[in-house]
Amino acid sequence: MTAVSLFGTTFQNSVLLASGTAAFGREVRGVIDLDALGGIVTKAVTPEPRQGNPPPRVAEFAGGMLNSVGLANPGLAAARTRELPWLAANLRRARVLVNVAGGSVDDYVSVIEGLTDLAVISAFEINASCPNTDAGGLEFGATPDGLRGLVRRCRRAT
């Protein structure tokens, strides 16, 4: 496959695992060669650990499936000290993108500020589908102004 450059970052190929499909990589290490990918987008990272929604989290039907995982994740501290160092030690060529989530703009900024110095991270993916608790639960990406404000603050944090 051909290398691809996007916003100043070069990926060895255009195959990236979507957010959460491989969690933080350990879960699929014996199934696929993560380093053969262009990159892996991690499971969401929030400031604090989240248990996520209670089961059942997935409903299958003839036309597809629905899921409601609830952003279960180990939180910023564990991502920084356990998950991302594992990726740094086990990937040589594949890029790491961290999915960032939160209930407020400050949550997103705190995660980015807490991780931005880690060399293993090539980029952050902003999970704009999260409900903004400061705006009555409206998703950050539901309005252009809401999304613009979120992205602006996140970019300043890098």
pLDDT tens, residue by residue, 101-140: 999 999 999 999 999 999 999 999 999 987 766 777 778 8
CATH number at residue 16: 3.20.20.70
Lowest mean per-residue pLDDT among 81-90, 93-102, 137-146: 137-146
Q: Which residue range forms the structural domain that includes residue 122? A: 4-157
What are the strands, taking DSSP E only, across 50-150? 58-61, 64-67, 95-100, 121-126, 131-132, 138-139
Q: 56 or 154, which is more confident?
A: 154
First to last CA, the chain: 30
Residues forming a β-bridge with 97: 41, 123
Residues forming a β-bridge with 96: 40, 121
Q: What is the pTM of this model?
A: 0.92
pLDDT band at 68 (very low <50, low <70, confident <90, very high): confident
User: How many domains, in total, are found in the chain?
Assistant: 1
Q: Is residue 130 flagged as an active site residue?
A: yes
Average pLDDT over the chain reads 93
> Across residues 26-46, what is the average pLDDT?
95
Of the chain, the percentage scoring pLDDT greater than 90 comes to 76
- Cα dihedral across residues 19, 132, 52, 107: positive or negative: positive
Give the pLDDT confidence score for residue 132 in this predicted structure.
66
Q: Is the pLDDT of residue 72 over 70?
A: yes
Active-site residue (options: 44, 84, 130, 154): 130
